[in-house]
Amino acid sequence: MNPANAAFHRPSDDEILASGEYPLTRRDLNEIAAMIYSDAGIALNDSKASLVYSRLSKHIRNLGLGGFRAYCALVSSPEGAHERREMLSHLTTNFTRFFRENHHFEHLRDEVLPGLIARAKAGGRVRIWSAASSDGQEPYSIALTVFQAFPNVLDYDFKILATDIDPKILAIARQGAYDEQALETVSPTIRKQWFKEVEIGGRRKFQVDDRLKRLITYNELNLMSQWPFKGKFDVIFCRNVVIYFDEPTQMRIWSRFADLLPEGGYLYIGHSERVSGDAKAYFDNTGITTYRFVGKTGGRKP
Protein backbone atom coordinates (compact mmCIF):
# COMPACT_ATOMS: atom_id res chain seq x y z
CA MET A 1 0.00 0.00 0.00
CA ASN A 2 1.24 3.47 -0.82
CA PRO A 3 2.04 5.23 2.50
CA ALA A 4 0.44 8.36 1.12
CA ASN A 5 -2.86 6.50 0.86
CA ALA A 6 -2.65 4.68 4.23
CA ALA A 7 -4.93 7.14 6.00
CA PHE A 8 -7.53 6.73 3.28
CA HIS A 9 -7.68 2.95 3.89
CA ARG A 10 -7.72 3.17 7.70
CA PRO A 11 -11.11 2.02 9.02
CA SER A 12 -13.20 4.91 10.31
CA ASP A 13 -14.72 4.81 13.79
CA ASP A 14 -17.83 6.36 12.27
CA GLU A 15 -18.27 3.66 9.63
CA ILE A 16 -21.71 2.08 9.95
CA LEU A 17 -21.40 -1.70 10.34
CA ALA A 18 -25.10 -2.47 10.79
CA SER A 19 -28.03 -0.23 10.05
CA GLY A 20 -31.68 -0.09 10.89
CA GLU A 21 -33.55 1.79 13.55
CA TYR A 22 -30.25 2.65 15.23
CA PRO A 23 -27.00 2.68 13.20
CA LEU A 24 -24.20 0.63 14.78
CA THR A 25 -20.81 2.21 14.10
CA ARG A 26 -17.39 0.67 14.39
CA ARG A 27 -16.78 2.83 17.47
CA ASP A 28 -19.93 1.44 19.11
CA LEU A 29 -18.99 -2.14 18.27
CA ASN A 30 -15.41 -1.69 19.50
CA GLU A 31 -16.63 -0.33 22.84
CA ILE A 32 -19.15 -3.13 23.28
CA ALA A 33 -16.55 -5.72 22.25
CA ALA A 34 -14.02 -4.34 24.76
CA MET A 35 -16.55 -4.58 27.58
CA ILE A 36 -17.66 -8.11 26.67
CA TYR A 37 -14.06 -9.26 26.37
CA SER A 38 -13.19 -7.74 29.73
CA ASP A 39 -16.25 -9.20 31.45
CA ALA A 40 -16.54 -12.63 29.85
CA GLY A 41 -13.54 -13.28 27.59
CA ILE A 42 -15.78 -13.34 24.51
CA ALA A 43 -14.09 -11.98 21.37
CA LEU A 44 -16.27 -9.95 18.99
CA ASN A 45 -15.13 -8.49 15.67
CA ASP A 46 -16.71 -6.74 12.68
CA SER A 47 -18.23 -10.01 11.48
CA LYS A 48 -20.44 -10.02 14.59
CA ALA A 49 -21.92 -6.57 13.92
CA SER A 50 -25.24 -7.94 12.67
CA LEU A 51 -25.52 -10.25 15.67
CA VAL A 52 -24.81 -7.41 18.10
CA TYR A 53 -27.37 -5.23 16.33
CA SER A 54 -30.08 -7.90 16.34
CA ARG A 55 -29.49 -8.80 20.00
CA LEU A 56 -29.40 -5.23 21.35
CA SER A 57 -31.50 -2.92 19.16
CA LYS A 58 -34.87 -3.90 20.64
CA HIS A 59 -33.47 -3.60 24.16
CA ILE A 60 -32.16 -0.11 23.37
CA ARG A 61 -35.63 0.86 22.17
CA ASN A 62 -37.21 -0.54 25.34
CA LEU A 63 -34.79 1.52 27.43
CA GLY A 64 -35.91 4.66 25.61
CA LEU A 65 -32.40 5.51 24.49
CA GLY A 66 -31.55 7.33 21.27
CA GLY A 67 -29.20 4.71 19.87
CA PHE A 68 -25.97 2.79 20.38
CA ARG A 69 -23.97 5.88 21.39
CA ALA A 70 -26.27 6.54 24.33
CA TYR A 71 -26.34 2.85 25.15
CA CYS A 72 -22.54 2.58 25.22
CA ALA A 73 -22.38 5.61 27.50
CA LEU A 74 -24.88 3.98 29.87
CA VAL A 75 -23.33 0.52 30.11
CA SER A 76 -19.82 1.92 30.54
CA SER A 77 -20.89 4.16 33.45
CA PRO A 78 -21.08 3.20 37.15
CA GLU A 79 -24.83 3.84 37.01
CA GLY A 80 -25.16 1.33 34.19
CA ALA A 81 -23.67 -1.69 35.99
CA HIS A 82 -26.98 -3.54 35.93
CA GLU A 83 -27.48 -2.82 32.22
CA ARG A 84 -23.96 -4.02 31.53
CA ARG A 85 -24.95 -7.40 32.98
CA GLU A 86 -28.10 -7.29 30.87
CA MET A 87 -25.92 -6.69 27.81
CA LEU A 88 -23.97 -9.83 28.61
CA SER A 89 -27.20 -11.82 28.88
CA HIS A 90 -28.36 -10.54 25.50
CA LEU A 91 -25.07 -11.28 23.74
CA THR A 92 -24.23 -14.71 25.13
CA THR A 93 -25.47 -17.65 23.08
CA ASN A 94 -27.61 -20.18 24.95
CA PHE A 95 -28.32 -22.77 22.29
CA THR A 96 -28.51 -26.19 23.91
CA ARG A 97 -30.56 -29.37 23.85
CA PHE A 98 -30.93 -32.59 25.81
CA PHE A 99 -28.19 -35.12 25.05
CA ARG A 100 -26.49 -32.78 22.60
CA GLU A 101 -23.40 -34.53 21.17
CA ASN A 102 -24.70 -37.77 22.61
CA HIS A 103 -21.36 -39.59 22.22
CA HIS A 104 -20.22 -37.80 25.38
CA PHE A 105 -23.09 -39.22 27.41
CA GLU A 106 -22.51 -42.68 25.97
CA HIS A 107 -18.83 -42.45 26.93
CA LEU A 108 -19.76 -41.21 30.39
CA ARG A 109 -22.19 -44.11 30.83
CA ASP A 110 -19.98 -46.87 29.45
CA GLU A 111 -16.41 -45.85 30.26
CA VAL A 112 -16.49 -43.44 33.20
CA LEU A 113 -19.48 -44.08 35.45
CA PRO A 114 -18.68 -47.70 36.39
CA GLY A 115 -15.51 -46.58 38.18
CA LEU A 116 -17.15 -43.53 39.75
CA ILE A 117 -20.10 -45.58 40.99
CA ALA A 118 -17.75 -48.15 42.55
CA ARG A 119 -15.89 -45.36 44.33
CA ALA A 120 -19.11 -43.79 45.61
CA LYS A 121 -20.35 -47.15 46.93
CA ALA A 122 -17.02 -47.55 48.75
CA GLY A 123 -17.61 -44.23 50.52
CA GLY A 124 -15.71 -41.96 48.13
CA ARG A 125 -16.58 -38.54 46.80
CA VAL A 126 -17.66 -37.98 43.16
CA ARG A 127 -18.09 -34.59 41.48
CA ILE A 128 -19.08 -33.66 37.92
CA TRP A 129 -19.04 -30.06 36.65
CA SER A 130 -21.17 -28.65 33.84
CA ALA A 131 -19.16 -25.47 33.33
CA ALA A 132 -21.54 -23.70 30.93
CA SER A 133 -24.89 -25.14 31.88
CA SER A 134 -27.15 -22.70 29.99
CA ASP A 135 -30.83 -23.47 30.69
CA GLY A 136 -30.07 -26.79 32.35
CA GLN A 137 -30.49 -29.28 29.52
CA GLU A 138 -26.84 -30.37 29.73
CA PRO A 139 -26.70 -30.98 33.51
CA TYR A 140 -30.11 -32.68 33.46
CA SER A 141 -28.80 -34.92 30.65
CA ILE A 142 -25.82 -35.77 32.86
CA ALA A 143 -28.15 -36.48 35.80
CA LEU A 144 -30.38 -38.70 33.66
CA THR A 145 -27.33 -40.66 32.52
CA VAL A 146 -26.19 -41.07 36.12
CA PHE A 147 -29.60 -42.17 37.40
CA GLN A 148 -29.97 -44.76 34.66
CA ALA A 149 -26.69 -46.35 35.76
CA PHE A 150 -26.99 -45.66 39.49
CA PRO A 151 -30.65 -45.43 40.61
CA ASN A 152 -29.85 -44.84 44.29
CA VAL A 153 -27.19 -42.20 43.61
CA LEU A 154 -28.81 -39.75 46.04
CA ASP A 155 -27.79 -42.02 48.92
CA TYR A 156 -24.12 -41.32 48.20
CA ASP A 157 -21.64 -38.43 48.03
CA PHE A 158 -22.20 -37.92 44.32
CA LYS A 159 -22.98 -34.41 43.07
CA ILE A 160 -23.24 -32.41 39.84
CA LEU A 161 -22.30 -28.72 39.86
CA ALA A 162 -23.79 -26.62 37.07
CA THR A 163 -22.58 -23.06 36.48
CA ASP A 164 -23.26 -20.29 33.99
CA ILE A 165 -22.43 -16.61 33.68
CA ASP A 166 -26.06 -15.59 33.08
CA PRO A 167 -28.31 -15.47 36.18
CA LYS A 168 -31.45 -15.31 34.04
CA ILE A 169 -30.68 -18.55 32.24
CA LEU A 170 -29.80 -20.18 35.57
CA ALA A 171 -33.28 -19.31 36.88
CA ILE A 172 -34.75 -21.26 33.95
CA ALA A 173 -32.40 -24.16 34.70
CA ARG A 174 -33.40 -24.30 38.35
CA GLN A 175 -37.08 -24.36 37.40
CA GLY A 176 -36.42 -27.23 34.99
CA ALA A 177 -39.57 -26.81 32.90
CA TYR A 178 -39.30 -27.09 29.11
CA ASP A 179 -41.43 -26.86 25.99
CA GLU A 180 -42.23 -30.14 24.27
CA GLN A 181 -39.92 -29.19 21.41
CA ALA A 182 -36.96 -29.25 23.79
CA LEU A 183 -37.65 -32.91 24.53
CA GLU A 184 -37.33 -34.05 20.91
CA THR A 185 -33.97 -35.69 21.70
CA VAL A 186 -35.30 -37.41 24.84
CA SER A 187 -36.55 -40.97 24.41
CA PRO A 188 -40.24 -41.68 25.16
CA THR A 189 -39.18 -43.98 28.01
CA ILE A 190 -37.06 -41.31 29.71
CA ARG A 191 -39.70 -38.67 29.08
CA LYS A 192 -42.39 -40.80 30.72
CA GLN A 193 -40.24 -41.67 33.74
CA TRP A 194 -38.53 -38.35 34.43
CA PHE A 195 -40.80 -35.53 33.17
CA LYS A 196 -44.26 -34.44 34.29
CA GLU A 197 -46.60 -32.39 32.13
CA VAL A 198 -47.57 -29.11 33.83
CA GLU A 199 -49.04 -25.74 32.94
CA ILE A 200 -46.94 -22.66 33.67
CA GLY A 201 -48.18 -19.20 32.72
CA GLY A 202 -50.85 -20.73 30.54
CA ARG A 203 -48.29 -22.74 28.57
CA ARG A 204 -47.82 -26.50 28.41
CA LYS A 205 -44.47 -27.50 29.88
CA PHE A 206 -42.62 -30.64 30.92
CA GLN A 207 -41.14 -30.46 34.42
CA VAL A 208 -38.08 -32.52 35.36
CA ASP A 209 -38.39 -34.88 38.29
CA ASP A 210 -37.30 -33.44 41.65
CA ARG A 211 -34.76 -36.24 42.05
CA LEU A 212 -32.78 -34.79 39.14
CA LYS A 213 -32.86 -31.37 40.78
CA ARG A 214 -31.58 -32.80 44.05
CA LEU A 215 -28.50 -34.17 42.31
CA ILE A 216 -27.58 -30.77 40.80
CA THR A 217 -26.42 -27.51 42.38
CA TYR A 218 -26.70 -24.40 40.18
CA ASN A 219 -24.37 -21.45 40.77
CA GLU A 220 -23.50 -18.30 38.84
CA LEU A 221 -19.88 -18.33 37.68
CA ASN A 222 -17.82 -16.35 35.19
CA LEU A 223 -15.11 -18.55 33.67
CA MET A 224 -12.86 -15.48 33.55
CA SER A 225 -13.07 -14.94 37.31
CA GLN A 226 -11.52 -16.78 40.24
CA TRP A 227 -13.03 -20.23 40.73
CA PRO A 228 -14.03 -20.91 44.35
CA PHE A 229 -13.46 -24.68 44.26
CA LYS A 230 -11.64 -26.53 47.03
CA GLY A 231 -11.73 -30.04 45.58
CA LYS A 232 -11.29 -31.59 42.17
CA PHE A 233 -13.85 -32.75 39.62
CA ASP A 234 -13.84 -36.24 38.18
CA VAL A 235 -15.51 -35.05 34.98
CA ILE A 236 -15.83 -31.58 33.43
CA PHE A 237 -18.23 -30.70 30.62
CA CYS A 238 -17.38 -27.40 28.91
CA ARG A 239 -18.83 -27.57 25.43
CA ASN A 240 -19.28 -24.96 22.69
CA VAL A 241 -18.18 -22.08 24.92
CA VAL A 242 -14.41 -21.76 24.58
CA ILE A 243 -14.87 -21.38 20.82
CA TYR A 244 -16.04 -17.81 21.53
CA PHE A 245 -12.74 -16.94 23.26
CA ASP A 246 -9.52 -15.85 21.60
CA GLU A 247 -6.61 -18.28 21.53
CA PRO A 248 -4.72 -17.00 24.61
CA THR A 249 -7.92 -17.17 26.67
CA GLN A 250 -8.67 -20.67 25.39
CA MET A 251 -5.21 -21.91 26.38
CA ARG A 252 -5.61 -20.40 29.84
CA ILE A 253 -9.00 -22.08 30.33
CA TRP A 254 -7.69 -25.52 29.27
CA SER A 255 -4.83 -25.21 31.74
CA ARG A 256 -7.19 -24.19 34.55
CA PHE A 257 -9.39 -27.20 33.85
CA ALA A 258 -6.30 -29.41 34.08
CA ASP A 259 -5.67 -28.04 37.57
CA LEU A 260 -9.12 -29.22 38.66
CA LEU A 261 -8.96 -32.78 37.30
CA PRO A 262 -7.37 -35.77 39.04
CA GLU A 263 -5.18 -38.02 36.95
CA GLY A 264 -7.59 -40.07 34.83
CA GLY A 265 -10.34 -37.43 34.99
CA TYR A 266 -12.23 -36.52 31.83
CA LEU A 267 -12.91 -33.29 29.95
CA TYR A 268 -15.67 -33.12 27.33
CA ILE A 269 -15.56 -30.16 24.92
CA GLY A 270 -17.56 -28.92 21.91
CA HIS A 271 -17.49 -30.37 18.42
CA SER A 272 -15.60 -27.34 17.01
CA GLU A 273 -13.11 -27.08 19.87
CA ARG A 274 -9.67 -28.60 20.47
CA VAL A 275 -7.44 -28.48 23.53
CA SER A 276 -4.52 -26.23 22.59
CA GLY A 277 -1.32 -24.70 23.91
CA ASP A 278 0.69 -26.21 26.77
CA ALA A 279 -2.43 -28.03 27.97
CA LYS A 280 -2.19 -30.44 25.02
CA ALA A 281 0.62 -32.18 26.93
CA TYR A 282 -1.69 -32.75 29.89
CA PHE A 283 -4.43 -34.60 28.03
CA ASP A 284 -4.86 -37.69 25.88
CA ASN A 285 -7.51 -37.35 23.18
CA THR A 286 -9.37 -40.63 23.78
CA GLY A 287 -12.40 -40.05 21.55
CA ILE A 288 -14.40 -37.42 19.69
CA THR A 289 -13.76 -34.21 21.68
CA THR A 290 -13.12 -36.40 24.73
CA TYR A 291 -9.93 -35.83 26.72
CA ARG A 292 -8.40 -37.78 29.60
CA PHE A 293 -6.13 -35.88 31.98
CA VAL A 294 -2.75 -37.59 32.28
CA GLY A 295 -1.09 -35.22 34.76
CA LYS A 296 1.09 -32.12 34.59
CA THR A 297 4.31 -33.30 36.19
CA GLY A 298 5.58 -35.75 33.61
CA GLY A 299 3.88 -34.49 30.49
CA ARG A 300 2.15 -36.86 28.11
CA LYS A 301 2.31 -40.53 28.93
CA PRO A 302 3.85 -42.86 26.36
Could you tell me where the DSSP H helices lie in the chain? 6-9, 26-40, 49-63, 68-75, 81-91, 103-107, 113-121, 137-149, 167-175, 188-194, 210-215, 247-259
- On the 0-12 / 13-18 / 19+ scale of CB atoms within 10 A, 27 is middle
CA pair distance 49, 19, nearest whole angstrom: 10
Does 55 participate in catalysis according to the annotation?
A: yes
Residue 20 Rama label (left phi>0; alpha psi -120 to 50; beta)? left
Residue 296 has pLDDT above 90, yes or no: no
SS3 state at 151:
coil
CB-CB contact of 154 with 211 (8 Å): yes
User: Closest Cα to residue 269, out of 284, 300, 253, 291?
Assistant: 291
Please tell me the pTM assigned to this model: 0.85
Distance CA 79, CA 75 (A): 8
In a 10 Å sphere around its CB, with 0-12 CB exposed, 13-18 middle and 19+ buried, how is residue 42 labelled?
buried
Catalytic one among 164, 166, 234, 252? 164
- Domains recognised in the chain with CATH numbers: 3-91 (1.10.155.10), 103-293 (3.40.50.150)
Distances (CA, A) of 289 to 107, 198, 246, 271, 301: 11, 36, 19, 6, 19
Average pLDDT, integer, range 266-278? 93
Query: Which one is catalytic: 26, 27, 55, 84?
Result: 55
Strand 203-208 relative to strand 195-200, pairing? antiparallel
Gap between the Cα atoms of 207 and 177, Å rounded: 4
CB atoms closer than 10 angstroms to residue 151: 10
> What tens digit of pLDDT does each residue of 88-101 get?
888 876 678 999 99
Distance of alpha carbon 274 from alpha carbon 277, whole angstroms: 10
Segment 133-151, tens digit of pLDDT: 999 999 999 999 999 999 9
CB 44 within 8 A of CB 36: yes
Q: With 70 as the cut, is the pLDDT of residue 221 above it?
A: yes
Is 164 known to be catalytic? yes
Q: Give the pLDDT band (50/70/90) at residue 301.
A: very low
pLDDT in tens, 157-189: 999 999 999 999 999 999 999 999 999 999 999
Model pLDDT for residues 117-130, shown as the tens digit of each residue? 999 999 999 999 99
